[in-house]
Amino acid sequence: MTPADFPVDQVVLELERYLAMHPTATDSADGIAQRWLTGRKADSRTIEAALDVLVKRGVLQRTAQPGGRSTYRRGRSSA
């Protein structure tokens, strides 16, 4: 399976599992790709799509940072 073949719903599940184990985790999309998805290699578009799904569901909260980057942390609906 190539990174482009990695389904968004699979990344969503992996991120939800990570948050269940690390409820105070906060990171950028790049950091999430490197640390939260250990052993999984999804392309950046797939990761961004999964993050968007989780933000819309309220599982993640997105916070804009200086320089245009965003960080993500557990949202209220995942508590």
Name all domains of the chain by residue range, CATH numbers in brackets: 3-78 (1.10.10.10)
- Quote the pLDDT of residue 3: 47
Q: Given the structure tokens 């999309």, which residue do they identify?
A: 29
Q: Given the structure tokens 């940072």, which residue do they identify?
A: 65
Q: Sign (positive/negative) of CA torsion 53, 17, 32, 42? A: negative
Per-residue confidence band for 49, with pLDDT thresholds at 50, 70 and 90:
very high
* Token duo for residue 45: 């578009």
- Quote the pLDDT of residue 47: 94
* pLDDT surpasses 70 at 11: yes
Q: Between residues 70 and 76, which one has the greater pLDDT? A: 70
Tens digits of per-residue pLDDT, 20-43? 999 999 999 999 999 999 776 789
Please give the model's pTM, rounded to 2 decimal places.
0.85
